[in-house]
């Protein structure tokens, strides 16, 4: 029994997530989550805020994840090379800190509004799937 995958664009993003070492796992959903986090932080997110939010999902910096392989490489190299994210040093930071921004490709292929609307729809579905938890969210 083989697997069949259908790749579709989501929110206008053309990234299919089938690049690099792992040729089988689409990562567009995680990219959308990260782009949404950046928007919610005011279009520029401190690296620590991204890792903290991902840890809530059970995804941690420095740990290989069965779905998303090495997260640091994915966020700071692959998506930067693909121009979906910018990863830069915060000017004047001491000690040195880094931040994430939308890259030019993300800005060209989708919009802050589309990503925020998608995040809101996903959150609404999660809340309706777990009504007993809705009061705690």
pLDDT in tens, 47-56: 999 999 888 8
Q: What is the pLDDT of residues 27-73, one digit of tens each?
A: 788 888 899 999 999 999 999 999 998 888 777 776 665 555 678 88
Per-residue exposure over 38-69, b if at least 16 CB sit within 10 Å of its own CB, e if not: bbebeeebebeebbebbeeeebebeeebeebe
CATH number (3.40.50.720, 2.60.130.10, 1.10.510.10, 1.10.10.1210) of 28-128 reads 1.10.10.1210
For the full predicted model, state whether its pTM sits above 0.95: no
CA 9 to chain centre: 15
CA dist 9 and 32 (Å) reads 12
Mean pLDDT of 15-22: 51
Does the structure show a pLDDT above 90 at 76?
yes
Tokens coding 125:
């579905």
Does the structure show a pLDDT above 80 at 80?
yes
């Amino acid at each position: 029994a083989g697997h069949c995958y259908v790749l579709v664009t989501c929110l206008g993003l053309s990234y299919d997530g089938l690049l690099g070492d792992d040729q089988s796992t689409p990562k567009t959903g995680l990219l959308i989550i990260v782009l949404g986090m950046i928007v919610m932080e005011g279009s520029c997110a401190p690296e620590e805020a991204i890792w903290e939010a991902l840890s809530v999902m059970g995804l941690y910096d420095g740990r290989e994840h069965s779905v998303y392989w090495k997260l640091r490489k994915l966020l700071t190299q692959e998506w930067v090379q693909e121009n979906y994210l910018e990863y830069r040093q915060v000017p004047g930071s001491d000690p040195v800190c880094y931040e994430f921004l939308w890259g030019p490709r993300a800005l060209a292929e989708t919009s802050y509004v589309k990503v925020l609307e998608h995040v809101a729809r996903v959150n609404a579905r999660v809340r309706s799937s777990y009504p007993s938890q809705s009061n705690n969210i």
